[in-house]
Amino acid sequence: MLREKYSEETEKQMKSFFDSLNEIDRRRYAAIEAMKLGHGGHSKAMWR
């Protein structure tokens, strides 16, 4: 289940939201985004 890349503005907003989360919620959010990317998503969903 691959998706097209988010727009630059959307990625900027997602990063800003991610930065506002605590550690546990960051992990949850990253896991959800990795699942959206499908196989290998965990290696592509690098937020730092």
Instruction: Tell me the per-residue pLDDT of 2-11, one tens digit each, with 9 for 90 and over.
Output: 556 789 999 9
The answer to whether residues 21 and 29 touch, using CB atoms and an 8 Å cutoff, is: yes
Write the DSSP symbol of residue 5. Answer: P
Q: Does residue 1 lie in a domain region? A: no
Determine the structural domain holding residue 25 and report its residue range.
Answer: 8-44
Q: Does residue 25 lie in a domain region? A: yes
| Number of independent structural domains in the chain | 1
Query: What pLDDT sits at residue 13?
Result: 96
pLDDT at 41 over 50: yes
Q: Does residue 26 lie in a domain region? A: yes
pLDDT in tens, 11-28: 999 999 999 999 999 999
Query: What pLDDT sits at residue 38?
Result: 76
The answer to whether residues 45 and 30 touch, using CB atoms and an 8 Å cutoff, is: yes
Closest by CA to 14, choosing from 2, 36, 1, is 36
Q: Does residue 19 lie in a domain region? A: yes
Tokens of 27: 């992990």
Q: Does residue 38 lie in a domain region? A: yes
Q: Does residue 2 lie in a domain region? A: no
Query: What pLDDT sits at residue 36?
Result: 83
Integer Cα distance of 8 and 40 in angstroms: 22
